[in-house]
Every structure is written in structure tokens, then in C-alpha cells.
Chains A and B, each alone.
Chain A
Amino acid sequence: MNAGPYADAAGLVERSAAAYAAAVPVAPEDDGYFGPASVTWRVSADLSAPVAGLRALLMQALHPLAMAGVDQHSDWRTDPVGRLAATSAYEVTVTFGDRASARRVAERVRAIHEHVRGVDTVTGLPYEAGDPALLLWVHAALVDSALAASALLGTPLAEADADAYVNEMAVAAELLGTPREIIPDSTAALARYIEGVRPDLRLTPAAAESMGYLLDPPGLDEDIAELWQDIRDAAVAALPGWAVRLYGYAEPAPLTEQRRTEIRQALGVLDAVFLGEPGVLEARQRIAVRMRTAARS
């Protein structure tokens, strides 16, 4: 069990970039579970992705058992940056890797999940990370956040594409052991599912502490920290009202068009920083070439 203070967030950009560059395959055996023509690839490349990621964490943390698993077992407190980088590398491999690579990393996560079990001190309930209900919540929060963030700040998806995205992403949950039949396959089903989980959600002290840390990570380089404020504001603005209330945040005013432009510009600067890290440009180009090729055929 960890209960120590959080390590600082220095190196967030550098380590995330390194993880990203390494996870985008150079010579994949196949197009993986999504493929270059998928909506999922398009969503992953959206400028709003950092906002989506932060919003997903905010949503996921509201499930007491999911939060307890992270808080009691992972290296989240001692190496939060490493944890985030590893998570994003996992997502990148599942999204862009070939099927064998996706299965391999998923197997690894499932093996780790075997040992993640315990009792949540707040609710008194037992949990295990392999529980499909918890896996599904984590999955749904991610999918819902990608849609919300791109709608707010990126390139919004057409309704049919949004449905296709939810449907495509089901396989990612399946890879970690969620039975297909309980995974939402449309935006409507996703909304119904989230609505159904709401009674279980609450802000535990662990969640409050974790998310407080994430919204204002200590030790970030000063300039990145300033950009982070915009990303944080955007992530909170993209949350459903009930989630904002659970956190006890002041209800954010709807983003004005000008504010959205400003946030996009901040995301652009952050993206340029990311692009400057070794290997990132090449990785992006590998993806772009495959998407272009797919679009032509």
C-alpha cells in the first residue's frame, strides 16, 4: 500500500513523448484492431487528445473501487509521470500496433491486474482490477472523454462517426477481459451506461488528492505549467455537470468561442513541444503515411 506524498511531475512531456515514439510501430505485421481508415485513428490524432486524457482520468477517478485499485497498488504516487507515460504507451500500442503487439501488451496488463485486489477503505467494498464492471467504467470514461474533448475543442465527429468510434473501441475493452455483450456500441448506449453507473460514483479522499495533483502538477517546467492551466480548464469544462459537482469545483462558465480558440492555441504550442522530442515527428509521419494510403485506396 502506498500512502506517501506524490513525486513531482518533472519530465512529463519528455517521458510521454518517448513512450509515444517507441509505441508507434515501425514495421507492423498488420493494421491492428482498428486500422488507418478507422475513426479511432482519426480521434487519436486529434489536437484535443491531452484534454481527453485528463478528462478521462477525472471521470475514472470518481469510481471509488477503480480509484482504490490505483491508489493502493500502482506506482502512481512514487512515479506518476512514469505511470501516465506507460498508460499512454499502452493506448498507442493498442491503437496503432499490430494485433500481436496489442494482444501482448493487453496480456501484460491482465497479468498485473491479477494482483490488484483489496478492500476500498471508503466504501468497505472488496475490489479486483480484473472485474469487468471496473474495466468497463475505465473504458467508457476514456471513450466518452475523447468524444467530449474533440466536440469541444477539436474536430467534432459526425453522429455516425461518433457511433462508429464507440463501436470500434469496444475491442479495446475486450482485450482486457470485458465481455463484448456488456460493452456499449453506440453513443446512446454509452450515455445510458454512464447514467447507470452514476449512483456508484463519489469523490473519495484518494480521488480528491490524485486529481488535485493532476490539475496542478508540482514540478512541471514553468512554461509547460502555464499551458497546463488551459488544458485543465478545458478538461473541467468538458466534464458533465454532475462530475463537476461531485468534485466540488465551481461550475465553469461555458467556453466562449474566443476562449476555445485560445485553448486550441495552447494545445498547438504543447503539440509543438511534443513534436520537438526525439522520434515524435517520425512516429507521426508513420501514422500519417498509413492513413493517407488508406484514404486513397
Chain B
Amino acid sequence: MKARNLAVLAGIGGASIAALALLRGRARPGRPRSGRLRLERGMAAVRLAARGGARYATSAPRLFASAGEHRQALRNDLALQTAEDVAATLGTMKGVLMKLGQMASYVDDGLSPAARRTLSRLQDSVPPMSPELAAQVIAEELGGPPERVFATWDPDPIAAASIGQVHRAITHDGRAVAVKVQYPGIAETIAADLGNVALLRRMLKITAPMQDVDALLAELRERVTEELDYRREAKNQEMFARYYAGHPTIHVPGIVPELSTRRVVTSELADGARFAELAGWSQAEKDLAAETIYRFVFRSLYEAHAFNGDPHPGNYLFHGGGRVTFLDFGLVKYFTEEELKPLVAMVRYLCVEGDPEAFRRAMEEAGFLMPGAPLPTDMIVDHMAVFYDTVRERGPRTMTGSYATAVTRRFFDFRSPLAAYVQIPRSYVILQRINLGLFALLGELSATADWRGIAEEIWPFVQGPPTTPMGQAEAGWRAARSGAGHPGRSV
């Protein structure tokens, strides 16, 4: 227990911060290491803005400030043409650093603006594949040139993915699809670079005590390795798509399994407004969008026992009336009944039963709190309450950026008297993205809702009646699909 576990709690976050410190070379000798995460006010907003999804168009115009008409030419000029180009651009640790940076941006709030700039530059430095190179990957994976595999193929990518790019196409049976194509050789390159344990250790040790480095490395390798195999992502997305089929506001594009492989994933094409565009929408629209995202996160968790750990704003498309398309299922964690039980119990005892001692016991059972910690229960409740702040009472509440920041601060508060006795077991580490991703996102929207009412609809031990029009519509969907069971466990 104690300090050692807090590093595991910080998980990839701690690791990434170290890498980023290294990226900027800003760590000063003699700087105290204890405050391993630097929190800055207003960071969530900046972070969200910075994470609008890397698109080539955003990096190209900087080149020649006055030459907008050259952009297309420039894209072609810089395109990666061979697997060797891919290795030169993303090899020698750069791909690994990019992944580290991406993970850091979800997991913690402590990126300095300089570190964020470095990472975004690193992402900008990766040009798209040339049409020929993308076609070569399609041919290797799907057995023919894209023009034959698909009825129509757009050789110009529409978006960048972290280790690939997205093309539009129409299948032979007439479906418009998005085809994500992985850079050739990237999986091998990143796997090789992840093998340089010495360099990774050097990058990690700055913030994590040595004994934790191996655990962090294991976590990092596992996550990255998972993301490199698109089949896993396809499987996850298919599960979510099946689960939410027919849902009034939640839409997950279906997978086309026969056109999906390790390096290609084909899904139904979706279009809609990007998160950044939402800023210009009415507050009522923002509130509805926020309600949908909130329902999606907690329905998925409590009912499908699945959590999409990639809540960044680039992964949503908005359609108005609260309808949201959810994209990118590269990082999904499935929970067993056993894993979920203590979490449910904690919510129940704190928010519904009002039984602090039972809450404390549930925390101990979950492994969050060391049994027999010499701390009064009310202190523990005080410390933990902030995480449940939005669902303790009925009535409308507005999510704010400062709430998201407060949650994050509490999460990473290593100086609190509890710090020596609390930890986050590894299987729950990913859930911190609820705090650091979801709340930041909803705060960014200044979303107002009766979150407690919505939560009661979803909490398995309450299963309350609908509290909003969306809840009504959802109840109809649930009635229609009753008996479908838990798709999360059927996969």
C-alpha cells in the first residue's frame, strides 16, 4: 500500500508526464519530484481544444502562410510513400511518444502547455499516406486494390487516426463506409521501440518510483499493443453497435466484418457536427448532447459492463436533438460482475442508503482503501464525496470546468492524509477517465441536467422511472430490446 500504489493509480498518466518532461527537456535537476502532476487551472478547456482530432488541414496551412491553394499539393508532396517513410517518420520512438502523449492527454490534467505543443507538433509531423501506399495496405489486407474491393474509393483521406488514416468508400452492396487504414509497418516499429526498456525506464523513472516502472511499462505495452490490432477495435465497436441498435439518441456505426482485418477496419460512414462546432449551438442543444453522452457512459458501464476509455472530443459527431454518434472503440475495458459489484455498492451506500460505514466497507472490498486504516470514516467520506457530487441529490446541476478541475485535483491529491491508505486497483484505473474525460467534456459544455435523476434510471439497484423526455424515449427502446441480456459478456 501507500505511496507505491499511488504511482500505479497515476498509471499511464505518471508515465506520460515523465516522457513529456523529457520531450521538453524541462525537468530541472533538484526540482522536487513529489508533486508529480502539475495541475493548472483552465487546463481542461485548453486540452479539449487541443484535442479536436488531428486533421491534415490543420497542419498544412502553417507551411506557407499565404499559399492556401498549395495545401492540396503540399499534402501530396509530404505524403508517406513507402513503409520506409513510415519507419522514418514514426520509428525511433516517435510513434511510441505519440501514443504516450495521447494517453496522457486523457488520463491526467498535468500537461504543461509546452508539452502539449510538442506532442501536437509530433502529431502534425506525420503526413498522410500517399494514395498508392494506402492502396497497398488495402491490397495486402483485403486481397485486391481498393477500386476493386470497394465499388467507389476516395483516395484522399478524410481524417487522420493516430496510427493510420480514414478513407471514404462505398461498398459493392451500396453502403457508404469509413475505412481506417493503418500505416504499414507501424505495429512492428512500435513493438520494437517498446522493447527498449532501458530508454522507456529512463523516461518513466522521473516520476515513478523504480519499483513501479515495470508495472507501468506492462500497462503501457498492453494498451499500445491492443490498439495496434484493429480487429479488437472492430469487435468492441460491433458490441456497442449491437447493444445500442435502435437507441433514440445513441448511435454507434456498425462494423463491416468482411472488410475488417488487423490493419483495416471498415464501418458505416457517419457525418455530423464536430465538438468544436457545438460551441455555436444553443445551450438546450448542448444539454441534450451532454445527456446522451452521460447516458452512454453509464448505461455502457452498468448494463453492458463495458467502458470506452477514449472519451476525447474528437470521438463524437453531433446531429441535434441530442443525437450523438460515438466513434473510436480502440480502448474498451470490460468489467466482470465481481469487479463492478463494489463500485455499485459504493454509489449505493453513499448516495442512496446514506450509510457511511457500509460505504467504507465497500471501498475496502474494492481494494480502494486499506482495511483498518487509522482514519475516521467521516474524513474518508469527505474526501470521496467530490466524485459523487453531481449525483448525491435530485435537481438540476450545471457541470462546470471548475468542477472537473476540482475532481481532478482531488484525484491526484497525494498530500491528503488519505493518500497513504488509498489506491486504485489496476482494473479500475481506466475509470479515472470518467473523471478526467467525461466531466471535463460536460464541463466544457456547461451542461445542466438532473444528473441524479438520470443516474437513478440507470443504477441497477434503483432502475428508476424516466426523468427526462430522453429517458422516456430510452425506456421505449429498453422495453423493445428486453431479453437481449448483456452483450458485453457475450463477446
Contact = CB atoms under 8 A, between A and B. Distances in A.
Interface of A: 13, 26, 47, 220-224, 226, 261-262, 264-269, 271-273, 275-276, 280-282, 284-286, 288-289, 292-293
A196 B222 CA distance: 56
Interface in B112-160: 114, 117-119, 121-122, 124-125
B480 interface: no
A266 B64 CA distance: 31
B199 A281 contact: no
B94 A271 contact: yes
B18 to A, nearest CB: 9
Given A221-B25, A261-B196, A289-B77, A226 B92 contact: no
A281 B29 CA distance: 28
Contacts of A284: 125
Contact of A281 (B74, B125, B196, B206): B125
A276 B27 contact: no
Given A288-B77, A289-B74, A273 B23 contact: yes
Contacts of B124: 281
A222 B122 CA distance: 21
Contact of A265 (B63, B92, B117, B118): B92
B345 to A, nearest CB: 44
A223 B78 contact: no
B26 interface: yes
B454 to A, nearest CB: 42
A266 B21 CA distance: 15
B63 A222 contact: no
A282 B28 contact: no
Given A26-B64, A292-B77, 20 more contacts: A221-B28, A223-B27, A223-B206, A261-B196, A266-B199, A269-B93, A269-B199, A271-B92, A272-B23, A272-B93, A272-B97, A272-B118, A273-B118, A275-B121, A276-B24, A276-B117, A280-B121, A288-B78, A289-B78, A293-B77
A268 B22 contact: no
B91 interface: yes
B403 to A, nearest CB: 32
A49 B80 CA distance: 22
6 contacts: A223-B22, A272-B94, A273-B24, A276-B114, A276-B118, A288-B78
A268 B94 contact: yes
Contact of B121 (A261, A262, A266, A276): A276
B193 interface: yes
Nearest to B93: A268
B102 to A, nearest CB: 14
Given A221-B28, A223-B206, A276-B117, A269 B78 contact: no
Contacts of A26: 64
B50 to A, nearest CB: 14
B24 A222 contact: no
A226 B21 CA distance: 13
B62 interface: yes
B86 to A, nearest CB: 14
Contacts, number: 90
A275 B28 CA distance: 21
B62 A272 contact: no
Contacts of B21: 223
Given A226-B202, A264-B92, A268-B91, A221 B78 contact: no
A268 B62 CA distance: 24
A129 to B, nearest CB: 33
B484 interface: no
Contact of A282 (B22, B62, B93, B119): B62
Interface of B: 21-29, 62-64, 74, 77-78, 88, 91-94, 97, 114, 117-119, 121-122, 124-125, 192-193, 196, 198-199, 202-203, 206
Contact of A292 (B78, B92, B94): B78
Max chain A CB contacts within 10 Å: which of B22, B27, B88, B117? B22
Nearest to A276: B118
Given A268-B91, A268-B94, A269-B199, A221 B122 contact: no
A223 B62 CA distance: 30
A273 B24 CA distance: 6
A47 B77 contact: no
Contacts of A269: 22-23, 92-93, 97, 199, 203
A261 B74 CA distance: 32
A267 B77 contact: no
Label chain A's interface by main secondary structure: helix
A266 to B, nearest CB: 6
Contacts of B26: 221
A275 B88 CA distance: 14
B101 to A, nearest CB: 10
Contact of A275 (B77, B122, B206): B122
Contacts of A267: 92
Given A223-B21, A281-B124, A282-B62, A262 B78 contact: no
A265 B125 contact: no
Given A269-B22, A289-B74, A289-B78, A222 B27 contact: yes
B25 A13 contact: yes
Contacts of B119: 276
Contacts of A222: 27-29
A272 B62 CA distance: 19
Most buried by A among B92, B93, B97: B92
Nearest to B30: A222
B93 A265 contact: yes
A282 B63 contact: yes
A162 B114 CA distance: 39
Contacts of A266: 199
A220 B124 CA distance: 27
Contacts of A275: 118, 121-122, 125
Nearest to A12: B25
Nearest to B95: A268
Residue from A264, A276, A286 having most chain B Cβ neighbours under 10 A: A276
A262 B197 CA distance: 10
B132 to A, nearest CB: 13
Contacts of B25: 13, 220-221, 223-224, 273
A45 to B, nearest CB: 9
B197 to A, nearest CB: 10
A81 to B, nearest CB: 13
Contacts of B97: 269, 272
A89 B167 CA distance: 41
A265 B121 contact: no
B193 A285 contact: no
Contacts of B118: 272-273, 275-276
Contacts of A293: 77
Contacts of B23: 269, 272-273, 276
A1 to B, nearest CB: 32
A221, A272, A289 pick with most chain B CB within 10 angstroms: A272
